[in-house]
Chains A and B, each alone.
Chain A
């Protein structure tokens, strides 16, 4: 069997249509969109069209989309852009404990530069309680940032409910939708948000390109300085091929979104049910139903995540883990600790994320091959005592 890729939450392959669409903008239509000649105007038309596509896919207006270098920049831009512009109004920012590091570490940075940061807890499924948000709002709060769906455990947050609480007090609401775009329907008005981050390579576009939705009227400082691009919000010559590729990808993933959600959900549930049934002492991390259709995250007790990944890799199966040993730090994933997992169980996590090229026979192969790996590792684990 060919290699099996179950790490779509890390990145996705660029679709052939995406690559084909991008190529002319490297070679023939290489103009700078700021130039007035035909070369430049072709490039400008291409980014305008891409902006329309992205906007349409989330129910926004084209002028509300700013292209960035990726999800991390979009998150940084949202937080810093709002924080530095609205300082006279207040200095309080609220995030959740399970945000991506692009939000958490940015909030930490702002915390060192005069801002107060409140970090909301989550329940054992990874959900933020709207009541908790209500309690921590102050008249100094200027921004709430809570992700749409979590990258590790796949839990979907009640964004509409949370944003309504912020909105009532006139507080900006940002959501990181890097993991949910292409896996969940997104409409910025229905979600009631002011800012939303996207990353091209998470939905079959190229790497190095992202977008930030900025609702019209949102007060922000520019992120990069040195040019008038992106309506003075982000200087730098546009990544035209990347922008074109991301636009095409956004269109394709929205063509059959409902079918793909249904297809992924069936495969995901088959995987989850079989693993929980066939491997004793295994738990599902994240919410049982309010989770991304392509995310399965397990804690397999008494063994460590990297050893599982290496064994899977030997069989050509690509997954991921929240174990410390895979992050280069000594602590396991902050997300797994935030949902209350003890360290030793967090170290034994395995994340398998599906995508549009995942086939049922691949899921079957994993279901067949994971149990012997677990057995082998448990046989050498000093903390595993077989129940007799």
Chain B
């Protein structure tokens, strides 16, 4: 497989799910920066504490696009509490693994989701996600 990617990663890269924006989203996450070459934007729609829709836009490599796609798939239909249990490892496992140099993409995908949930909680309860701090700065020191 090109780039040492799994078939699952390539499949999500070729046919990314949930690309786009949600008009009037209940939560928006924006992580990464152009300097490091990865930016993810995530939009969620929440109804009765359940994430009923999720979409993304990503500037980045194959792994960045595949992890964004996968995380939006994983999160749909989940309650906020369930969604918060999705870690970067959950995303990696769902994609049948990622090359070691691409693990940071899964961290970014987890951050994008948490950042969207953080935004949703701030808007709906006035309080963000306790202790949430994106990893973005760490891996680009």
Contacts and interface: CB of A to CB of B under 8 A. Distances in A.
Given A304-B64, A347-B37, A382 B3 contact: no
A144 interface: no
B40 interface: yes
A331 to B, nearest CB: 9
Nearest to A345: B34
Nearest to A332: B37
A343 B140 CA distance: 13
Given A304-B64, A310-B13, A381 B59 contact: yes
A380 B13 CA distance: 11
Interface string B44-62: 0000000000001111111
Majority SS at the chain B contact face = mixed
Contacts, number: 76
Contact of B61 (A302, A325, A342, A382): A325
A381 B58 contact: yes
B114 to A, nearest CB: 17
Interface string B116-131: 0000000000000000
A304 B3 contact: no
Interface size classification for chain A: 20 to 34
B134 interface: no
Contact of B59 (A326, A328, A383): A383
Interface size classification for chain B: 20 to 34
Contact of B60 (A307, A313, A328, A330): A307
A328 B101 contact: yes
Given A306-B3, A313-B2, A380-B16, A325 B59 contact: no
Nearest to A324: B37
User: Closest 6 A-B residue pairs measured CB to CB?
Assistant: A344-B34, A325-B61, A306-B61, A382-B57, A347-B37, A382-B41
Given A324-B36, A347-B37, A382-B41, 16 more contacts: A302-B59, A307-B13, A307-B60, A307-B61, A307-B62, A307-B65, A310-B3, A325-B61, A326-B61, A330-B36, A332-B37, A347-B34, A380-B57, A380-B58, A381-B58, A382-B40
20 contacts: A303-B59, A304-B38, A304-B60, A304-B61, A306-B61, A307-B13, A307-B61, A314-B14, A323-B61, A325-B60, A325-B61, A325-B102, A330-B36, A330-B139, A332-B37, A380-B16, A382-B58, A383-B34, A383-B59, A384-B59
